[in-house]
Amino acid sequence: MAKDMSYEALNARKNEIMKAAMQISYEDFEFEGIGFDYEKMMDEVGYSIEEMRKMQLDNAVGNTPLLEMRNLTALARKYAPAGKGAKILVKDEACNASGSFKARRAAIAVQQAKKLGYKGVIAATSGNYGAAVAAQAAMNGLKCIVVQECYDNDKMGQPEILEKQRICEAYGAEVVQLTVGPELFTTFLGLLEETGYFNASLYTPFGIAGVETLGYELAEQCRQRYGKDPDVVVCTNAGGGNLTGTARGLIKAGATKTQVVGASIDLKGLHMASNGDFNKKSCTTGHTGFAIPFVTWPDRSDCPRNAARTLRYMDRYVIVKQGEVFYMTQALAILEGYERGPAGNTSLTAAFVLAQEMNEDEIIIVQETEYTGAGKHTMPQLTFAKQNGVEVLFGDPDTEVPGKTLVFPEDPGMIKAREYDLSKAKKSYIHNCVKNYDMAMASEEDINYIMDEIQESREFVLAELNEAGITI
């Protein structure tokens, strides 16, 4: 008798499918209440930093250069108060095989699949990660399927997403292209069950552990070159794996006083699962439409428990505008001679502003870049925006309305890093716990778990639980 492959049935079998696709039993990590043992789950990776670095280097990943942006630093100092203007450094992850930091995640996932004897790997992604998994699978003789959400209902796709699809296919992957909607992860689950391939999801412990080498490396390189740890590291934040893995790597390197800042692009008002809104955005990743839902509830991913948990590690969160990111993408090319894709330049935009708050003897690091190309370049993205009714202007970026206007700053001094209230995100997380677990009461274990999840005091957690009517 054929299995029920409906949306409801596949999601009901999610834990069973994931266990077969990774040989990890997520039930082993669960507490009695709402929580789980996060570090026990991460220990399932089973590799040390040194072992992961070797795996990555053997597959053309890692040991990327740390570059000082002298001209951008000088520009930031022009707009900073006297004595302010930290050195801006960039970790050039475009030098990895496949051209982004996601090669680090893919390398560990593919090595684990190979070690366990899987014939192939599957990833659900809009692009860079799919290319990374496809490249690593090709290097290691494994089959690869990439499930990609790339079209609206009229089969119109963004230049950046379609370029990534072509790259995945160039590496030999089979690409399953979907229209926007809820079917992405369901299709992914169905293919895992049908093929018996390894789950190379972005959100597994292997995917997050692979990024730990990035945080470890940049701390090591900063010490070697400047004799100190970085003061601030800025991470473009979407699903959270970039920030989580980098922060964990910094901690493992002993850089425990380094402030970790998340940065996302403001797409407030656009719904990412909406057919009408899908092509109104001019940045396909690192935006609030993806990031905020994952910050406030990480377990919305394709894994029973998401290994990317930003509130455990994020010290500060700032928002930038689409026009500002495209402006800084061009500034990086013109002033520094590095043409890189827009995703990593989200954190560069934030770093340009944050550097102006910091002292001249301090160091701020943008922890990743990505490759650029025909579809990922600023010009085709702007042309596509205009074709979809978005007006491109010069002016005050604060007037930008996502989906309607894209505003370049008239002057670099107009670029801002807008503070996102982390306490608001933490309160939302607590209320999501109450809602998603139908909580009526909270045990001591529940309270301690939430404290760990959001880096907050017992008093903060109790106040929010009390407001939600939960019995303590």
pLDDT digits (tens, 9 = 90+) for 87-100: 999 999 999 999 99
Give pLDDT, residue 180: 78
Q: Distance between CA 49 and CA 249 in Å, rounded? A: 8
Q: Average pLDDT of the chain?
A: 94
Given a cut of 80, whether residue 458 has pLDDT beyond it is yes
Of 278, 290, 210, 198, the C-alpha closest to 244 is 210
Q: Can you say whether residue 193 is alpha, beta or left, with left for phi > 0 and alpha for psi between -120 and 50 degrees?
A: alpha
Strand partners, 259: 232
pLDDT above 90 covers a percentage of the chain that reads 79
Q: What is the pLDDT of residue 271?
A: 80
For 172-176, what is the mean pLDDT?
A: 95
Higher pLDDT, 181 or 117: 117
Q: What is the pLDDT of residues 209-244, one digit of tens each?
A: 999 999 999 999 999 999 999 999 999 999 999 999
- Phi, psi for residue 287 in degrees, rounded to 5: -115, 165
- Nearest residue to 67 via CA among 425, 301, 344: 344
Label residue 135 by pLDDT band (50, 70, 90). very high
Position 155 scores a pLDDT of 83
Residue 71 CA neighbour count, 13 Å, CB half: 9
| Residue 31 pLDDT greater than 90, yes or no | yes
Instruction: Tell me the per-residue pLDDT of 5-27, one tens digit each, with 9 for 90 and over.
Output: 887 888 888 888 989 999 999 99
> Cα–Cα distance between 38 and 304 in angstroms, integer?
12
pTM (two decimals): 0.96
Q: Is the model's pLDDT at 284 over the cut of 90?
A: no
| pLDDT on residue 395 | 98
Give the tens place of pLDDT for each residue, 339-350.
998 888 999 999
Task: Give 107-120 as a DSSP string.
Answer: HHHHHHHHHHT-SE
User: What CA–CA distance (Å, rounded) separates 325 from 343?
Assistant: 8
Q: Return the pLDDT at 329.
A: 96
User: How many angstroms separate the CA atoms of 429 and 426, rounded?
Assistant: 5
* pLDDT of amino acid 182: 67
Q: How confident is the model at residue 149 (pLDDT cuts 50, 70, 90)?
A: confident
